[in-house]
Amino acid sequence: MTGHESMHPEDKVGSDAFLRQAGRTFLLAMYAALRSLKLYPIENATAQKSLDDLQAASAGILQSQGDIELRLSGDFIFVNGTRLRLELDNYASFSNLMAALKALEVGELRVMPGCERKEWQVFIGVLLALSGRSGVQDEEHRFLELRDRLERGGVVHIEVQPPVESEDKVAEAEKAREAAKRTYSHGVAVTKDLINSVRLGRTTSVAKVKRAVQAIVDQVLNNETSLLGLTAIRDYDEYTFTHSVNVCILSVAIGKKLGLTRLQLYDLGLAALLHDVGKARIPVEVLNKTTGLDEGEWRLMQTHPWQGVLTLFNMRGYGEIPYRQIVVAHEHHMKTDLTGYPKVIRKRDQGIYSRIVAVADGYDAATTRRSYQTVPIQPDQVLREMWENPRRGYDKILVKALINLIGIYPVGTCVILDTFEVAIVTGANPDANYLNRPIVRVVIDQDGAMLGYPGREENLAEGDGSGSFLRSIVKVTNPDRYGLIVGDYFV
Ligand SMILES: [Fe+2]
Ligand SMILES: [Fe+2]
C-alpha cells in the first residue's frame, strides 16, 4: 500500500473511529434483536424496541458510509474494512452473533441504502428459524435456504454472502499475530511459574517449559516476524520473565539463520529460556534494585551463572542431564575472549549455543529500560556497539546474523523520516539489499497529527519512479518524546 491513493490520513482515522463505535452499536443491536425475538413474541414491546434500535443503528451507518459491509474473518469482525475491537463487555455478544452467522455459513453481510425496519424483522426471524433447527443438513444447504427465505420474505436490501474462500491476507496476518501473542504470553506465564517455584525451593517439572519452547520454535520456523515483533514490547514489571522469553525468541531466530535443525533449535531455545534461571536464587531486593549495585551486591549478581548450573541439576523431568542448558547458564557472560564472568582458569572456548544466547541476551538487556535506566539506548546504537566494540566480547558473525535478522533499525525503533513523519519500524525489509530501509508504520503524519493504531504502513525502499526514495530515515528518536507507546502498535 502506498497510502497515496487512500484518503487523507485524518479522514481515515476519523472514519475508523466512527466505524468502530457505530459498528459496535450496530452489532450489539443485531444481537439484542436476535435475543429479544427469540424470547418474546413479535408484538412484545421489548421485541419492537430492539428492532427500532437495530433499524436506527443500521440507518446511522448507511447515512454516513453509503452502505454497510459486515465481514467475518477468522475471529474478527470487520465493518466496512475496520476491525471492531473485542472487549470484555461485548465479547459474549459478538461471539454469539458470529456463531449464529457462521452456523449458517454466512461470511459477509451487505446492507444497502433504503433498508427498512420490516426487512430487519424478516432477517432476524429467518436467522432464528434456521439456526434453531438442528438437522443433518449440510452447511451449504442451510446457506441456500437462508438466501431463499430472505428473498421470499421480500428482503432486498440485506444480502448474505458465504465466507470468502480465497486467502485473506489481512486476516491471515492478524491470525499469525494472534497466535504469536498467545505463544508469547504462554511462554511468559510458564517462565514465571518456573522462576517462582525455584525461588520457593519447590521441585519443578521441565515438561511444561519444554512444550512452551517447542511452541516458540515452531512459530519462529513458520513465521518469525510476528514473534520477533513481540520482543519489542518490553514490559518492565515483568522484566525477568519477558527477558527470558525474548532471549529465547531471538536465540532461536539466530539459530534458524545459522541453519540449525528443529531439534537443535529446541535445545537452544530451552537453554536460552533458562539462561538466567540462577537469578531465581538471588535475593529479590538485589535483583530489582533501582539504584546502582554496591560491590557486594554486584558480586552476588555475578554468581547467577553457577547458581543456574546448580538449579538445573536439581530439575526433574528431563529424562537426561540438561547438559547444554547447564553449559549455557554457566558460559553466557564469559565473553568470547573469556574476560567476563565466572572467571575461567583453564583455557576453553565459549560454546556456540552460549555465544548465540550471549548475543540475544546482550541485545535484549541493552534495549530494555530498566528501573534505573531512564532512557533505554536506541536499538541501532546497541547493535553498532555490539558489532564494533571488541571489548563487549560478542561473536561478530552472530551479531551480523542478528543485524540481518532484525535490520539495522530493529522492530520497535522509532524513527523520524525526511517527510517529517514519525514512524515505528515493524519489520526488516524483505529485500536484503535494503537493510537500512525497513517496513514502518507512520504514526504521526507530517502535520503532527497522531494516526493511532495501526498507523499507515510504508515500505521505505519504495521509490518515486525517478531513482529517489519516497521516504528515508533521518534519525532514530525516543518514542517518549512524542508520547508514543511502541507496544501499542504490536497488539
Ligand atoms: Fe545472565
Ligand atoms: Fe540475561
Q: Tens-of-pLDDT digits for all 491 residues of the chain?
A: 333 334 444 455 567 788 888 999 999 999 999 999 999 998 999 999 999 999 999 999 999 888 899 988 777 788 888 888 767 677 778 888 888 888 888 889 999 999 999 999 999 999 988 876 655 456 667 888 888 999 999 999 999 988 765 455 567 767 777 888 889 999 999 999 999 988 888 877 788 899 999 999 999 988 766 788 778 766 656 778 899 999 999 999 999 999 999 999 999 999 999 999 999 999 988 887 767 789 999 999 999 999 999 999 887 665 677 889 999 999 999 999 999 999 988 888 999 999 999 999 999 888 775 544 555 566 677 888 898 889 999 999 999 999 888 777 777 788 889 888 999 988 878 776 777 788 999 999 888 888 877 889 999 999 888 888 899 888 777 787 788 877 777 65
Euclidean distance between the first and final Cα of the chain, in Å? 21
CA of 332 to the centre of ligand 1 (A): 6
Q: Is 272:351 a contact under the CB 8 Å cutoff?
A: no
CA of 195 to the centre of ligand 2 (A): 13
Q: Is 278:308 a contact under the CB 8 Å cutoff?
A: yes
CA of 333 to the centre of ligand 1 (A): 6
Q: C-alpha cell of 58?
A: 443500521
Residue ranges of the domains in the chain? 9-166, 170-406, 414-490
Nearest bound ligand to CA 305?
A: 1
Q: C-alpha cell of 474?
A: 533521518
CA of 210 to the centre of ligand 1 (A): 20
pTM for this one? 0.60
Q: Is 146:106 a contact under the CB 8 Å cutoff?
A: yes
Nearest bound ligand to CA 361?
A: 2
Kindly give, in sequence order, each residue whose CB lies less than 8 Å from that of residue 299, ignoring residues fewer than 6 positions away: none
Q: Please give all residues whose CB falls under 5 A of ion ligand 1, grouped by chain where several chains appear.
A: 276
- Report the alpha-carbon distance of residue 324 to residue 326 in Å, rounded: 5
- Report the alpha-carbon distance of residue 331 to residue 336 in Å, rounded: 10
CATH number of 170-406: 1.10.3210.10
Nearest bound ligand to CA 330?
A: 1
Laid out side by side, the sheet with 456-459 consists of 456-459, 439-444, 422-427, 414-417, 473-477
CA of 267 to the centre of ligand 2 (A): 17
CA of 358 to the centre of ligand 1 (A): 8
Nearest bound ligand to CA 329?
A: 1
Query: In 283-351, where does DSSP find H-type helix?
Result: 284-287, 295-301, 304-313, 323-331
Nearest bound ligand to CA 332?
A: 1
CA of 272 to the centre of ligand 2 (A): 9
CA of 227 to the centre of ligand 1 (A): 22
CA of 275 to the centre of ligand 2 (A): 6
CA of 428 to the centre of ligand 1 (A): 27
Q: How far is CA 270 from CA 42, 44, 213, 440, in A?
A: 61, 62, 6, 32
CA of 361 to the centre of ligand 1 (A): 7
